[in-house]
């Protein structure tokens, strides 16, 4: 399989004929574009990259034209971490930092706080939202805790983010992840609180699959030479594994001048005047870092 098809894609899979289903995500140019736009310190970029992988794998299961939003808020140096995935493959991520040096790494950057998962089905549909405390020593562990508490679905997750070095080329970010869940029945439909692992066989099947996924190393998720298919075969060849058609992922932000102008129109003249710098109102998208310029009246400006 060509590099174009093994990177920047989500790969759904199923272990044999069991109820163990999951996704592998491999991101190269997409995650590099997202992270390079921010120029965060490396620990911040790494956590933002993990959030992007996580929301992509979760969002790939959306059965409608909507959006999955991951948000974590804490009392640490990173006040907020946000990533969202829109059905069809649009991915973006950002983070907000408090003043001061970043000395922590990983999920310790967030400190104590909570995770919010939001499924946005569009303007005419009700949003679904799940909230859980930040728990565990990594973002993967915090996401597993979310599924255990909010969705009550057995889940195992591995995430990795790093820089790829090549001769005579700048370092580029790569990211990868694998998530497996025990989802019985057609789509896993069940009453809330109903036990999923109902039999000894279910428990054995899940324990085996989860143990295999837990062995995945960072380099297996990041190495361009190890395809998603190769990784899945390494893990599950004894049980059989089916990899389904990959879903392409792209770095894409939903910001535009019209949306920002609509927001500015809600402000009073005095409030708009306070936003003016050097004769224009400058707005920078928190996700893609694109600059937008408006007149003191809130109208689009041709200013550079």
The per-residue pLDDT for 3 is 43
Give the confidence band of 121 by pLDDT, cuts at 50, 70, 90. confident
- CA 85 remoteness from chain centre: 7
Q: Are 251 and 92 within 8 A, CB to CB?
A: yes
Quickly tell me which residue has 């609180």 as its tokens: 193
- Contact residues for 211 (Cβ-Cβ < 8 A; gap 6+): none
Phi, psi of 121 (to 5 degrees): -95, 10
Query: Span 3-251: which CATH code?
Result: 3.55.30.10
Structure tokens at 208: 């085996």
pLDDT at residue number 304: 52
The yes-or-no verdict on residue 5 having pLDDT over 60 is no
pLDDT digits (tens, 9 = 90+) for 172-211: 999 999 999 998 765 445 444 456 787 888 999 999 999 9
List, in sequence order, every beta strand (DSSP E) within the chain: 9-15, 20-27, 67-74, 78-86, 90-97, 113-120, 128-133, 155-166, 169-182, 241-243, 247-248, 250-251, 276-277, 280-284, 291-294
Position 62 scores a pLDDT of 84
Residues 217-239: tens digit of each pLDDT: 999 999 999 999 999 999 999 99
| pLDDT for 302 | 63
Please work out, in degrees rounded to the nearest 5, the angle formed at the alpha carbon of residue 116 by the alpha carbons of 211 and 244: 45
Q: For residue 300, how many C-alpha atoms fall within 13 Å in the half-sphere facing its CB?
A: 8
User: Which of 39-43, 47-51, 123-127: highest mean pLDDT?
Assistant: 47-51
Question: What's the burial of 82, exposed, middle or buried (CB within 10 Å: 0-12/13-18/19+)?
Answer: buried
- pLDDT (0 to 100) of residue 140: 97
Q: Residue 169 — φ and ψ, nearest 5°?
A: -130, 150
Domain ranges (residues) in the chain = 3-251, 257-294
The pLDDT mean for the chain works out to 90
Residue 92: strand, helix, or coil: strand
């Amino acid at each position: 399989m060509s590099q174009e098809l093994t990177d920047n894609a989500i790969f759904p899979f199923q272990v044999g004929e069991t109820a163990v289903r999951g996704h592998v995500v491999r991101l190269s140019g997409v995650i590099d574009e997202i992270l390079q736009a921010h120029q965060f310190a490396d620990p911040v970029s790494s956590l933002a990259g993990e959030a992007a992988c996580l929301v992509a794998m979760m969002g790939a299961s959306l059965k409608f034209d909507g959006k999955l939003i991951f948000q974590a808020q804490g009392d640490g140096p990173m006040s907020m971490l946000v990533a969202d995935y829109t059905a069809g493959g649009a991915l973006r991520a950002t983070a907000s930092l408090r003043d001061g040096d970043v000395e922590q790494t990983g999920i310790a950057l967030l400190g104590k706080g909570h995770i919010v998962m939001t499924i946005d089905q569009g303007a005419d549909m009700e949003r679904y939202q799940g909230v859980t405390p930040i728990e565990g020593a990594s973002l993967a562990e915090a996401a597993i805790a979310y599924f255990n508490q909010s969705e009550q679905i057995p889940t195992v997750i591995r995430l990795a983010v790093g820089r790829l070095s090549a001769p005579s080329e700048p370092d580029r970010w790569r990211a990868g992840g694998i998530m497996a869940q025990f989802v019985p029945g057609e789509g896993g439909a069940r009453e809330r609180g109903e036990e999923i692992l109902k039999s000894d066989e279910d428990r054995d099947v899940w324990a085996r699959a989860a143990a295999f996924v837990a062995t995945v190393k960072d380099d297996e998720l990041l190495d361009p030479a190890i395809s998603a298919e190769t990784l899945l075969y390494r893990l599950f060849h004894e049980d059989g594994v089916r990899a389904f058609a990959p879903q392409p992922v792209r770095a894409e932000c939903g910001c535009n001048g019209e949306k920002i102008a609509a927001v500015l129109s809600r402000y009073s003249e005095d409030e708009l005047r306070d936003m003016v710098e050097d004769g224009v109102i400058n707005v920078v998208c928190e996700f893609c870092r694109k600059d937008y310029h408006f007149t003191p009246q809130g109208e689009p400006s041709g200013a550079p």
